[in-house]
Structure 1
């Protein structure tokens, strides 16, 4: 309803019209379906209605990114625009569904690129589309009869991974009118199975290892626009794929056995999307430069010998919105990278630059992957030539092993990344400092830097804008003026962060994660200047002793900090999670604390501060079995005075792989104490229900 009402002027009459709509009394709809969703659905433009109903077909067990979904919409003809703006228009439809709360963003993924649909909303959409579309699971008892009794335009099937539960491909052959077929999970294939029974198919998405039998007949799908063989067992596409003149999208992500693209792919003049991520592709055929309709190209393997096309063939691809280059360590002539003409690609908003990683699981350089000074200098020259256009929105750098980052990440004057909003950098094996050209970027919202073991100090250059004044204003411009979230992890040798209290920076930073370093103190500038900071995660700091004086902090997580002793003066803190911080003795100055989570399987007594300086409403404990038994003893136990004032306590102890095998549940008002630990057995060193 909020999503619907926000489309209306905030006037009494506008909202009253919605309140009095006849849909509220519609009787044809089953009772379990929500009339408010029906009202919201009816308010959608007709083109977005189709996109909404289509979204409900996507199996919940599989991850679908926004560009995959938009590609399906375009292939079905739901997005009505010119060839130049289809993806942009589809993105607007996608964001409109988010705005109306008909799909919900998954917060684990940045920038709304993954969404979920609530089960109630999904049931409604599937009910509305029931005459044309079916979303089913192979285990349904009446699925076979449904497929015999009715022909559908769109079919979505989920199957389990085992062959005994999988659906037979032959059971689908009666669905000759299909325009969309989505199959996730195992499907039973036999020799001779093919796609020739689906002559009208526009969209084919399979997420299964067992579809290699279909590869040779794919060229028979004359009307196919969207082909996704995700996580499949195919090693190549058929040589006749060049005959599929309408093909616009090819997704091979996760097909690890895939090694070869046929030369005929250069005949697919309508191709807009090609994803080769997590494949074993070892090159692209020459002549690739003719595919000038490409908008998204991910997983492009960089090779400079043999019959494969080089980076130079990317030069004419001027319509690219997203580009991912893999294997940049293979470039032997750094100046040749300039021929890719990245800086001239005015539509390019997302760029992914990847080298083979040199770091092991411990975050340090593997002995066999030691990098020579000559190799460092060469990769530095390669990346210097890959300067992106100034309108770049999203940058990801992975596996870079130069000592210095490329000039366009370190320049604060020319600001070549002036439009950058999101930055990911991972496995920076040899970099000795963070990029110092970012702090003045006006739109930068998110930074994540993981695994940079050569950085020992973050100096004042990281926040250098405090030395600069705006040419139009006399006041100092704060560094990182729009950054909302930052994650710095795996900087194993990081010992010092220079940031004094008076240096203005991060005025709107809301969430900060610091993980895996040697910092002994949090810089005073952070608590003094990051006045909007709500969520702070401090993980695996070996030397940190105290954490204090964050006026705005609402949620704090401290984990694996073996020397942390004191947490104090956090006046707005509401939630605190403490995981394996055995020396934490002082917790005070947290008057707003509502929820406390303590996790330490070796904990044998509750900390003293629980009965002295804090008064949370809810406490969750993960502790040793003896401590759990002491809590379960209630008023007669030694821990009673430390938790009896808490409104609700949930405590757990592990057994084997079950972290909640044993439990105690306590409520103070009305009094209730429940446990599955047999306290009398505990006295004999045994725990039984």
Structure 2
């Protein structure tokens, strides 16, 4: 369905319309319906023409109904007879809801708590559904999380949810679907959206079970103290729509006890510093979100919440420790302490949480009670696990007891050392510990940060880790060589940062006995490798990095020699801060973006053209000229930035036949600039030697900005093109006249609409004629102390 055209069905012929609809409904273009079934389908389809949303939802419905009677029931449904003016929801949407299984109806109706345009994650919604008891877990069957995932995917397939265009992990409901959810909730859900003024109080029925409101400038809890005493509210859910925080800094003790039937309580974003002890009275509570609050501790009573499944403390950066008796919360399944960096260590009771699936961070403490071996019992861990402060761990046997190798549901593993160890014995112990912390081969992402050993363990880079797609190695400053990363057959993204003692990237890195290294690698980044000198290519000359699309090399000041030449799919190439490197650009036929900054120079790049190159950034301090053969390769460049080429004297290039944007900065020796007619935007800054600006032939130029070019004493009518619309001039110490006196200015940029002049203390007047001002819509002159006349 992802490849289905976006045009509406009503634009198509009868047959084409039906074929496209069948593709949506049944997920197949090869479907041939029984003639009677096809006739019913065409009639149903005709009822919802003109609404792409209705057509899409109907497709999702009929996809699950393949027999004649079900389709006929849809055609004969009384819901079609509802007058349109009496219903804000298309009848087809109501019909689609009525055909949902009962468990999906319940889940969908709960979504009426979500405001329109609210973007949500799948896990966020599943955890709320779980807390409301929508799924029952039986021994040996699927977990509640898996059942929730299935419900979410079912609703997504039926188009009740849609992926956002900006982020694949975020979802949204169409406004009409949101209205449908409110209709389906039948008064059990209440969403407060109006801003409350003064002492105005909202009214809420005692039948309401689920309550949400948009996080705005409400005065904290005061608005909700007067909930009816006899209501059995199960959900209290503030939802963030903007960045405003709550004004309250406390929670009244009298407020929580009157909500004793709550299953879901979110206080996300409130600015209070203390959680009342009365929270322990919420015996039915299964979901508690205290994320982004100012709390420093949790009350002891929270340990009595035996039914709690989800505890979210994300971003509570003042929280020092977890509840002492956290082991009593035996039903806890999700504990999120992401960005809670003030916690010193985990508590011994963590090992009792055998149902725990989410543990965002396990903090190893100096106290012997805080042992990583406590992870042994947490066999259900899923998703992401970070183990931090590993410098506190010196017991190899404890690392073995953690039994990471058997935690096959972990997708992402992060291991962090926060400080370096000076003792050689401790450094050796770190190697043994990391050896014992070998994860399952099912892991997809591995991050090692601050490792203090001198070499990597044997499992690191082993070919059995065929599921690893992302690898980050950071601040491992004592390691002198890299592991055999090339053996990781599925690796797509590799980031190496702060390996300050590695001198060579060569055969070991590729894997000496690996016939085809880096078969899946798409992104490769080297950064802050202070001693790296040589990049030795692998033996497989023509398949070195066959699928690499992005290559970044930053702050590697000693790197020299040749870079890989056989990278046929490279699209983005960026080098910055490699002072000893003469950059050689071989045949990169797919290159779209090129950035060369802070390097020694640019060598010859052969006889080919960089046909797809659209964006280029050059910053080479000692380059005197951009060689003709190099510039010729940039013929198709649309965006060019030249920065810090301090010895570059001229830029007279007729080769830029496609140039649209030119940005020149800090080229102190640049005297002359001559550009082509395709240029639309020009920016020149800090080019104090510039004396000649020949761009009058740039007939497409519309916007020009010229700053701090003090050798230009005037800008004549012959230097700027006729079609220029916006001109910004700033910080010229010696500029006296914008247009030289004695010459007619009627031809000076006759289309000029916006003129801004700032910080030109010597400027006396704009021109000898008033014609310059004829077409101007906006004129601004600031900090020009000698200025006396417009003409």
TM-score (norm 2): 0.67
Please report how far the alpha carbon of residue 233 of structure 1 lies from its aligned counterpart in structure 2 after TM superposition. Answer: 1.9
Give the match for residue 512 of structure 1: 551
- 1:262-285 C-alpha deviation (Å, 9 max, x unpaired): 233212222111123333223333
Q: Distance in 2 between matches of 1:390 and 1:239?
A: 39
The reply on whether 1:544 has 2:581 as its aligned counterpart is yes
Whole-Å Cα distance in 1 between the matches of residues 684 and 436 of structure 2? 65
2:78 aligns with none
Structure 1 residue 326 displacement after superposition: 1.4
The equivalent residue for 2:786 is: none
1:457 and 2:488 aligned? no
- Contact in 2 for aligned 1:551/1:572 (Cα 8 Å): no
Query: Are residues 1:483 and 2:521 paired?
Result: yes
1:280-679 alignment runs, 5 A limit: 280-303=342-365, 305=367, 308-321=369-382, 322-358=384-420, 371-412=422-463, 415=464, 417-436=465-484, 438-464=485-511, 467-468=513-514, 477-499=515-537, 502=541, 504-518=543-557, 520=559, 523-525=562-564, 527-528=565-566, 530-558=567-595, 560-565=597-602, 569=608, 571-578=610-617, 580-581=619-620, 585-586=625-626, 587-590=630-633, 593=636, 595-598=638-641, 600=643, 608=651, 611-616=653-658, 618-619=660-661, 621=663, 638-641=692-695, 644=698, 651=705, 664=727, 673-678=752-757
Q: Which of 98, 115, 134 lines up with 2:170 in the alignment?
A: 115
**Contact 2:109–2:181 at 8 Å: present in 1 too?**
no
Tell me whether 64-73 or 259-268 shows the greater mean CA deviation: 64-73
Q: Is the 8 A contact 1:576 1:593 kept in 2?
A: no
Distance, in Å, in 2 between the alignment partners of 1:519 and 1:32 is 68
Deviation at 1:604, TM superposition (A): 12
Please list, as runs of the form range in 1=range in 2, the aligned pairs for 1:230-309 lying within 5 A after superposition: 230-279=291-340, 280-303=342-365, 305=367, 308-309=369-370
Is 1:183–1:206's contact at 8 Å kept on the other side of the alignment?
Answer: no
For residues 155-175 of structure 1, give each alpha carbon's deviation from its aligned partner in whole angstroms, at most 9, with x where no partner exists. Answer: 14334xxxxx45331213456
Q: Which has the larger radius of gyration?
A: 2
Question: Against the structure 1 CA distance between its residues 206 and 608, is the aligned structure 2 distance closer, same or farther, given a 3 Å change threshold?
Answer: farther
Matched, 1:167 2:219: yes
Contact 2:583 2:601 in 1 (8 A): yes
Q: 1:403-445 deviations in whole A, cap 9, x for unaligned?
A: 1122210445xx3x23222222222222222221x31223222
Select which of 84, 87, 106 maps to 2:145.
87
1:149 Cα shift?
5.9
| Secondary structure of the corresponding residue to residue 387 of structure 2 | strand
The counterpart of 2:259, out of the listed 157, 174, 198, is: 198
Give the one of 24, 30, 42 matched to 2:50: 24
Which of 213, 231, 248 is residue 188 of structure 1 equivalent to? 248
Q: Look up the SS of the partner of 2:162 in the other structure.
A: coil
Q: Quote the Cα distance in structure 2 between the aligned partners of 1:43 and 1:197.
A: 38
Counterpart CA distance in 2 for 1:592 and 1:460 is 37
CA distance in 2, matches of 1:509, 1:42: 50
Matches within 5 A, 1:188-227: 188-190=248-250, 192-193=252-253, 194-208=255-269, 210-227=271-288
SS of equivalent to 2:641: strand
Aligned to 1:102: 162
User: Which one has more relative contact order, counting CA pairs under 8 Å at least 6 apart?
Assistant: 1
Distance 1:449 1:59 in 2: 42
Change in 2 beyond 3 A, CA 1:228/1:141 = closer
Whether 1:148 aligns to 2:203 is: yes
* Alpha-carbon displacement from aligned partner over 1:532-575 (angstroms, at most 9, x marks no partner): 22222323332333342243334324264254446855523343
Aligned residues of 1:564 and 1:583 also touching (Cα < 8 A): yes
Contact 2:594 2:613 in 1 (8 A): no
Inter-partner Cα distance in structure 2 for 1:94 and 1:589: 54
Tell me the TM-score normalised to structure 1 length.
0.76
Q: CA deviation at 1:649?
A: 5.3
Q: Which moved more, 1:445-454 or 1:32-41?
A: 32-41
* Alpha-carbon distance in structure 2 between the residues aligned to 1:206 and 1:649: 50
User: Per-residue deviation at 1:67?
Assistant: 4.4
Greater Cα shift, 19-28 or 448-457: 19-28
Task: Tell me how far apart the structure 1 counterparts of residues 616 and 190 of structure 2 sit (CA, whole Å).
Answer: 44
Say whether the 8 Å CA contact 2:251–2:275 is kept in structure 1.
Answer: no
| Equivalent in the alignment of 1:474 | none
Whole-angstrom distance in 2 between the partners of 1:91 and 1:235:
34
Task: State the alpha-carbon separation in 1 of the partners of residues 144 and 381 from structure 2.
Answer: 13
Among 158, 167, 188, which residue is 2:215 paired with?
158
- Shift in Å at residue 248 of structure 1? 1.0
Offset of 1:347 from its aligned partner?
Answer: 2.8
Deviations 1:220-270 (A, max 9, x none): 333322222122222222222233222111122221222222233212222
Distance 2:658 2:155 in 1: 39
In the TM superposition, residue 338 of structure 1 has moved relative to its aligned partner by 0.5
Give ranges in structure 2 of 5+ residues lacking alignment: 6-22, 55-82, 674-681, 686-690, 709-724, 729-748, 766-779, 783-791
Whole-angstrom CA distance in 2 between matches of 1:106 and 1:565 = 37
The range that moved more, 379-388 or 288-297, is 288-297
Equivalents in 2 of 1:88, 1:314: separation in Å? 23
Instruction: Quote the Cα distance in structure 2 between the aligned partners of 1:515 and 1:450.
Output: 9
Cα distance in 2 between the residues matched to 1:555 and 1:198: 59
Deviations 1:50-71 (A, max 9, x none): 4698499389999x77644543
Match of 1:9 among 13, 28, 36: 28
Q: Is the 8 A contact 2:274 2:298 kept in 1?
A: no
Residues in 2 aligned to 1:594 and 1:47: alpha-carbon distance in whole angstroms: 56
**Aligned pair in 2 of structure 1 residues 680, 315: CA closer, same or farther (>3 Å)?**
closer
Distance 1:680 1:54, change over 3 A: same
- The whole-number CA distance in structure 2 between the counterparts of 1:21 and 1:448 is 55
Cα pair 2:416 2:449 within 8 Å, conserved: yes
Unpaired runs of 5+ residues, structure 1, are 160-164, 359-369, 469-476, 632-636, 655-661
Q: Which moved more, 1:551-560 or 1:562-571?
A: 562-571
Hey, what's the Cα distance between the residues in 2 that align with 1:624 and 1:31? 65
CA distance in 1, matches of 2:544, 2:667: 46
Name the CA shift for 1:551/1:288 in 2 (closer, same or farther; >3 Å): closer
